[in-house]
Chain A
Amino acid sequence: MKTVTIRILGAAALIASALSQGCASDPSRLNTFSTDWLDDSGRSIAEVQTRLRGARPSANTDLVVSVAGNDKIIGTPLGGGAQWTAKHALDVRPIIAGGVVVVSGGNEVAALDATSGKKLWARPTGGLPLVGAGDDGNLTALSLSRGAGSTLLIVGRDGSVKRQIETDKTLGDPEVVGGVVFVPWANQYVSAIDAASGDEIGRVTIRDKVSRALTIGGTLYFGELAFIRFDDKISQSSRGGASRVALPSRELPGTPRLLVPGTEKVPPAANARDRDRLFGRPSGEATPLAIDSGRFYASYYRLILGLEAQRGNLTWVHTHPHDFIGGEAVTGGLVLCDEEGKIVALDAQTGQVSMEKSVGEPIKSCVVQADTFQAPKAATPGPSLSQQITDAVTVREATLATAQRLLLRELATLEDESATKTLIDIASDPRSVPVLVADARAALATRKNGAGYMLAALGKHYDFLHDVLRSPPVGPIAAALAAMKDPKAPPLLAAQLLDPQITDDDVKQAAAALALIGTEKEMPQLKQFFAMYRGTAPSDEVAVAAGSVAEAMLRIDPKGSRPIVEAAAKDSMTVPVTRARLEALLAATPEKGGDKPAAGEKPSAGDKPATKTKK
């Protein structure tokens, strides 16, 4: 069965091609997109590499192309030059390919001049969606999806079709260099097609999933999950020896992708997948191949995370006023556009905005191509990472919660005292997303610094009249301060213990902390709590707290407290959970001589709290 038909325009060529296919019996010989090819250990691709040595990809236009309004296409140069607009029906998002912008819709595909937006040519597509395009200044290669197959169209600058290759294979996003079309397919091959002859003149097997061929900064790469450079090591690709760079794996919000699969039809308007992306730029011709500026970037709605390229450590966080819907890593940083039509460049090292432009109107989507453009260096280093995370996690938008949870975990690892404050603020703010509150509380309990912020927080209480509508995170603060053995904490914890608005869990943790660090000064509140809740504890947590308070009382004043605790342990009005705890406590701390009440003295179940009852 013939797997490929090459249809060359002209009957003679068609016959010649058919004959050529019919003679294809040598498995080492390349038949276009054939699957009976045996890996040639890089021989054929090395020949292509030799042929193209010195033929650098043409310079691409540094441009942002946005889709706005009704089929309106806006080109905004990143460097100099005037912004242009064009109109064309759009079934898919425009593709910037070298010096042209390829648009598709209304049953035709058209090329616009990237510098002016002027239509260069248009060809009918029969409704096939465009999935990829490449251009070398003379030829434009287009990949059109046909469901279970693809059409590769090679078009000259004048709009004439040089080749039309139809295959039952799914082709990826092609690129053209020096008249050779590089076409990824079957997720593992890149075929080099001579545009003049239509012959496949070389093929390489890529060990990573590959669906895109693209030029960045004058260098040709293949990839989808990583960048494989087309250089003199490309012939070693099937043996894993090609120049390759990938982004380190790490936890990120959403499921961001470095490159959209080249086989995927991308809708004209941005969708959720455009709001969580990965951006990284290969370093060019440097050896070994690396990631530019040592940074890669993850977007999540209006947050951008700057990450260290070796291990993926978070280095900065940029919080933007609006959702980012497109962008591209550029030399020295990142260029992004938001849904309001604002274009910003971020400095790779600091995440600070180093350039701003505006499309002038809200946009539906955008694509960025940056070949020679460099992100300027930001004038200021910006706030500390702790502050940047704080800015990001205190944005009250439920859509950001996933990223904010991750950032909170990052914040908890920082030794900066202000991180403690941020955790307290989030846990105390009634507007905070519940999952963030839970995370902030968990992180707070393990803090080893920021005691000043914790003590200040403990001094605050719920107060409806003064709009303090959430109590501070007493429990985790109690745990942290108890671990620090902070002497200023006990009176504040004792006051919180008697505040009905803190949660039952907070009561439990505050009581546990007081069992460790409570002092004689807190005895009145401890006794009050014990008497009030030993028989009325509304939950097991509070019942346990009553036990912890008894523990504190026995530690601080064993002689005075033992009779009270003993009586409560025997009193049927004491709730079972507390009684069990009291019995265990008493058993663990046997009575010492002199601690027993005097003969005839009747122990009382609860001591009287410090009331001023008139007699």
Chain B
Amino acid sequence: MRATTSLHTCRRVALALLLSWAGATSAAAQPAKPPAFKPAPKVDVSPAVQKLKSGDEGQIRAGLDDLRIAGAAAAAAAPAVADVLARGLTEPLALQAIETLGDLESSDGSAILAQYASHRTVTVRRAAIKALTRTKGAAAASALRKALGDADAQVRGNAASGLGALKAKDAVPDLFVALDHKVNEAAASIGQLCNAEQCEQLAGKLGKLPFDVVMSGLELMLFRPSSEVSEDAKIKVLGRLRELGTGEAHRFLKDVERRLVKEASPRIRQAVEQAVKATAGGSQ
């Protein structure tokens, strides 16, 4: 169930990338502009921070509630939340503080979240890993890499996905090890982060790992802008799929062909079309 959800997520991400890929391929000299980002208006966090400093359980809970409602706009309160978490709370409050730090999306929360990412209670670890994916920063990436070796499959999976979201390219070798240990979420992250050689390595997993798992990564890789992954690398992967020649490879390629934007590179388009033809009638 979790793997399916993860694959669906990958498809949504792929679609988003597909849209941006059109611009990247049509005009290499004119990189795609990111969508306009409106920073959230800042809010006054001092009343909430006062509550956090009260030492009173109820007040702390109320302060955290206030901050969660404000979300990223209350990022200035992240050090105070980290501080209260670092002093020690009950488990429900600790979970609330962790989730609040995730909502604040400030890297100020990453260091304390990294500590809670190795808490003995698995629900606490899972929450911390999820929050780290949102707070980002070096401490987050380091903690997520460490969490790939966690005993809990959900922690490992979330950590693998988080490394992709954090664009932690240094973590790709670890993600491959994770993938070999059935952390399927690692495939999508590899697809998001791989260089040409690593993308080829991922394609090499075809036939060794479940098709859907490998494709969750290759799909993302194929739709990445050519500034990140060269056309040659993509054509190599398409060649691998063509060689595979199975029915599921054919269906995948058909799907890629259908989703190719008008502005897609002629070389890529041609490679996809040829691969679709070559795999038609492939074995099931």
Question: Which of B107, B121, B124, B151 is in CB contact (< 8 Å) with A501?
Answer: B151
Contact A498:B55 (CB < 8 A) given known A531-B87, A536-B90, A608-B87: no
Q: Cα distance A542–B120 when bound, in Å? A: 9
The residues in A between 559 and 615 inclusive whose CB is less than 8 angstroms from any CB of B are 568, 571-574, 604-609, 611-615
Structural contact, B181 and A465, CB atoms closer than 8 A:
yes
In the complex, A557 has a CB within 8 A of chain B: no
Please indicate the chain A residues that have their CB under 8 angstroms from the CB of B232 in the complex.
none
Given contacts A464-B156, A501-B151, A605-B55, contact A611 B93 (CB under 8 A): no
- Complex contact A613–B112 (CB within 8 A): yes
Q: Are B57 and A573 in contact (CB under 8 A)?
A: yes
Is B149's CB within 8 Å of the partner chain A? Answer: yes
8 Å CB interface, A214-233 against B: none
Distance, CA A500 to CA B148, complexed state (A): 14
A selection of 7 A-B contacts at a CB cut-off of 8 Å is A500-B151, A507-B120, A572-B57, A573-B93, A608-B87, A609-B86, A611-B82
Does any Cβ of A come within 8 Å of B139's Cβ? yes
Partner of A611, one of B111, B118, B121, B177: B111
Q: Given known contacts A462-B151, A465-B148, is B93 in contact with A498 (CB within 8 Å)?
A: no
A92 to B87, CA, bound (A): 77
What does DSSP make chain A's interface, helix, strand, loop or mixed?
Answer: loop
B108 at the interface (CB under 8 A from A): yes
On chain B, the residues within 8 Å of A466 by CB distance are: 149, 177
- Find out whether the CB atom of B151 lies under 8 angstroms from the CB atom of A609: no
Cβ distance B3 to chain A, nearest Cβ, rounded Å: 17
Give the residues from 445 to 497 in chain A that come closer than 8 angstroms, CB to CB, to chain B: 462-466
Distance of A196 from chain B, by nearest CB (Å): 80
* Residues in A whose Cβ lies below 8 Å from that of B121: 536, 538
Given contacts A463-B149, A613-B108, whether A532 and B119 have CB atoms under 8 Å apart is: yes
* A606 CB, min distance to chain B CBs, angstroms: 4
Is B23 on the interface with A (CB-CB < 8 A)? no
B-binding residues in A (CB < 8 A): 462-466, 498-501, 504, 507, 528, 530-536, 538, 542, 568, 571-574, 604-609, 611-615
- Complex: how many Å from CA A142 to CA B139? 85
User: Within 8 Å CB of B57, what residues of A?
Assistant: 572-573
Chain B contacts of A499 at CB under 8 A? Answer: 118
B264 within 8 A of partner (CB): no
Q: Is the pair B125, A500 in contact by a Cβ cutoff of 8 Å?
A: yes
Nearest CB in chain B: distance from A176 CB, A: 69
> Contacts A465-B149, A536-B94 known; A571 to B115 CB distance under 8 Å?
no
Q: How far is the CA of A568 from the CA of B87 in the complex (A)?
A: 9
B178 beta carbon closer than 8 Å to chain A: yes
Nearest 4 Cβ contacts at the A-B interface: A606-B88, A606-B87, A611-B111, A531-B88
Chain B: residues with Cβ within 8 Å of the partner, total of 35
Report the minimal beta-carbon distance from A575 to chain B, rounded to whole angstroms.
Answer: 8
With A498-B118, A611-B86 already in contact, the answer to whether A464 and B149 are too (CB < 8 A) is yes
Contact, CB under 8 Å: A611 / B112:
yes
Q: Give the chain A neighbours of B89 by CB distance below 8 A.
A: 535-536, 573
Q: Which chain B residues border A611 with CB–CB below 8 Å? A: 82, 86, 111-112, 115
In the complex, whether B150 has a CB less than 8 A from a CB of chain A is yes
Give the most central of B57, B120, B150: most A CB within 10 Å.
B120
Report the bound CA distance from A9 to B90 in whole Å.
Answer: 96
A609 partner residues in chain B, CB cutoff 8 A: 86, 112, 115
| Inter-subunit contact B55/A571 (CB<8 Å) | yes
Chain A residues with Cβ under 8 A from B150's Cβ? 464, 500
Pair B149/A528 contact, Cβ less than 8 Å: no
Knowing A463-B149, A532-B115, A535-B91 touch, does A500 contact B120 (C-beta < 8 A)? yes
Q: Is the pair A533, B120 in contact by a Cβ cutoff of 8 Å?
A: yes
Closest chain B residue to A607, Cβ basis: B87
Given A465-B148, A613-B82, A613-B112, 15 other A-B residues pairs in contact with their CB atoms under 8 A: A465-B177, A498-B118, A500-B120, A534-B88, A536-B119, A538-B120, A572-B57, A605-B88, A607-B87, A609-B86, A611-B86, A613-B79, A613-B86, A613-B111, A615-B79
